[in-house]
Amino acid sequence: MVVDLEYRWLAINRTAADEFERIFGWRPEVGTNMSDLIAGRSENKAAIKGLWSRALGGEEFTTIEALGNPGRDQRHYEMKFSVLRDKDGRRIGAYQFVYDVTDRLEAEKRLAEAQEALRQSQKMEAVGQLAGGIAHDFNNLLTVIIGGLGQLERGIASISDQNLTTRLRRSCEMAQQASQRSAKLTARLLAFSRRQPLDPKPIDANRLIADLADMLARTLGEEVRLEVITAPGLWMAHADVNELENAILNLAVNARDAMPEGGRLTIETGNTFLDDDYVSTIAEPVAAGQYVLIAVTDTGVGMDAGTLARVFEPFFTTKPVGQGTGLGLSQVYGFIRQSNGHVRIYSELGQGTTVKLYLPRFAASAQPDRHAPDSTGRLGGDETILVVEDHDDLRSYSVGVLQELGYRVLEAPNGPAALDLLTRVDRVDLLFTDVVLPAGMDGRRLADEALRLRPELRVLFTTGYSRNAIVHNGRLDPGVQLLPKPFTFDALAAKVRSVLDQPKTTL
Ligand code: ADP
Ligand code: MG
């Protein structure tokens, strides 16, 4: 539109006139005076008057203005004002180009949000890689440490000096406890990086919570009241039982810490449906469908937006040194995501916090679990076991333990060497192999080749974590036997015996 110094329209095109009419309810025409039309007091009118008075005062500028009613028909316009001169160069008015940039701004905003979400998820992914790598190596070391301590403990018994025995035993115990605590921390790191082997089973969440209630009440202390509201007719969820218990415990501990003066912790269950609309708003990939909901609500201090944005990051804690590890919610996040579920936190400063865990509903078609219980009683044996492990200390530890239990033991540092052995010796009953191996052959491939050579062979895998070799979509392939690292003397003894005693299942 073109306007003279008296605010009269000299020219205006159709589109500009249409927009003007839409916003102000008046249709501008050549010759009419703008000041009459926009004499009222609305914000929109004031904005237009202000802009034109600058333009007619000789200023040339570009601006973006929001006009219309916020929340209803508001749109954003880019306006470019220039001075109009006659042929002698005298200022006689101003002209304006208007562009509706609402869609462009909206697209830019969405792009910025998407980039932010991507950045956040890449950060979580990178931290996960790092955490998983550390946990994997650390588990190897811990296995050696825990194993060595166990051997020391058994050796101490044969020392004749009673005083020395007592002192050594106490040191050993303390070292054992510290290693077990370290093992727990590495387990949480693995959980965060979604690289722990999970063993999902159908779970009745109502029962699981009822079974946990005692321990939860003890964890929460006297000042916090525990309230459990279970939904009747609750679907079966599909998840790893131990990790789900850990997740609920982590949430309860956080709730307790958030209620130093006491309060109420409510655990609720329910059947829910996540629809397409909802899942499309989530950055992580979550399938629409049926979920079992476990909601944990406290009446504690709550979180501000800054804290809320970072709670899932490993080692993020607002607690004093020594009190928080920053790994509780990381475990929850990694476990739920690896289980194809979804976790969401709602929090209000000073009011409280709700953490909602959505676990996929158990599809009845999934294979029922057919793990034989670990056999107790007879622990050792005289069978022949081939140990394949690239970590030298760890290999000699496992070999030592198995020999101590009476087994005949062969060893190899990688897959090709193990296969070579298998073609040369006459008797091997069990292949005990690490999943991640060097020399271009992982444990899974080694097992396949070995079974071709000796169909009667039993196989037991061990791993600090599993990439994809035996854990697919976060679950063990049927028939696969796995001993997670770090393992203790007793765990190794029991697992080896139970695999040897089980009827043969094909991999
Ligand atoms: P930690 O408990 O060791 O600090 P978490 O990963 O469990 O590590 O939690 C990280 C942070 O999230 C906590 O330090 C706290 O600031 C916040 N947080 C977690 N749960 C709650 C809660 N229920 N109420 C208030 N803040 C919480
Ligand atoms: Mg915690």
Task: List, for residues 404-439, the tens digit of each pLDDT value.
Answer: 889 999 999 999 999 999 999 889 999 999 988 888
Q: Does domain 201-360 have CATH number 3.40.190.10?
A: no
Residue nearest to atom 21 of ligand 1 (CA): 254
In whole angstroms, what is the distance from residue 430 CA to residue 398 CA? 13
5-9, 210-214, 386-390, 471-475: least confident range: 471-475
Q: Which ligand 1 atom sits nearest the alpha carbon of residue 331? A: 6
Ligand 1 lined by 252 (C-beta under 6 Å): no
- Looking at domain 384-501, its CATH superfamily turns out to be Response regulator (3.40.50.2300)
Contact assessment for residue 176 and residue 149, using Cβ atoms and an 8 Å cutoff: yes
- The rounded Å distance from CA 80 to ligand 1 centre is 51
Q: What percent of the chain has pLDDT over 70?
A: 93
Q: Is the pTM of this model over 0.75?
A: no
Ligand nearest to the CA of 348: 1
113-122, 207-216, 232-241, 470-479: least confident range: 470-479
Ligand 1 lined by 332 (C-beta under 6 Å): no
130-139, 292-301, 327-336, 476-485: least confident range: 476-485
Per-residue pLDDT at 335: 93
Higher pLDDT, 373 or 386: 386
Residue-range domain boundaries for the chain: 2-100, 113-192, 201-360, 384-501
Question: What SS3 state is found at 18?
Answer: helix
| CATH classification number, 113-192, choose in 1.10.10.60, 1.10.287.130, 3.40.50.300, 3.30.70.1450 | 1.10.287.130
Q: Is the pLDDT of residue 365 over 60?
A: no
- The rounded Å distance from CA 345 to ligand 1 centre is 11
Q: What is the mean pLDDT of residues 285-308?
A: 93
Per-residue pLDDT at 369: 41
- The rounded Å distance from CA 330 to ligand 1 centre is 10
- The rounded Å distance from CA 418 to ligand 2 centre is 44
Contact assessment for residue 193 and residue 132, using Cβ atoms and an 8 Å cutoff: yes
- The rounded Å distance from CA 216 to ligand 2 centre is 14
Ligand 1 lined by 352 (C-beta under 6 Å): no
Q: What percent of the chain has pLDDT over 90?
A: 52
Supply 421's token pair: 């052995």
Alpha helices by DSSP H, listed for 25-73, are 34-37, 43-56
Per-residue pLDDT at 76: 93
In whole angstroms, what is the distance from residue 358 CA to residue 285 CA? 13
As a whole number, the mean pLDDT across the chain is 87
Class of domain 2-100: alpha beta
Ligand 1 lined by 297 (C-beta under 6 Å): no
In the chain, the largest separation of any two C-alpha atoms, in whole Å, equals 117
- The rounded Å distance from CA 120 to ligand 1 centre is 19
Which residues, 6 or more positions from 229, have their beta carbon under 8 angstroms from its beta carbon?
Answer: 266, 267, 268, 269
pLDDT confidence bin for 366, thresholds 50/70/90 = very low
Identify the sign of the CA torsion 286, 291, 296, 301: positive
Per-residue pLDDT at 94: 96
Per-residue pLDDT at 370: 40
Ligand nearest to the CA of 312: 1
User: 2-100 with 201-360: one CATH topology?
Assistant: no
Top mutation candidate among 192, 254, 264, 346 for ligand 1, by most atoms within 8 Å of CB: 254
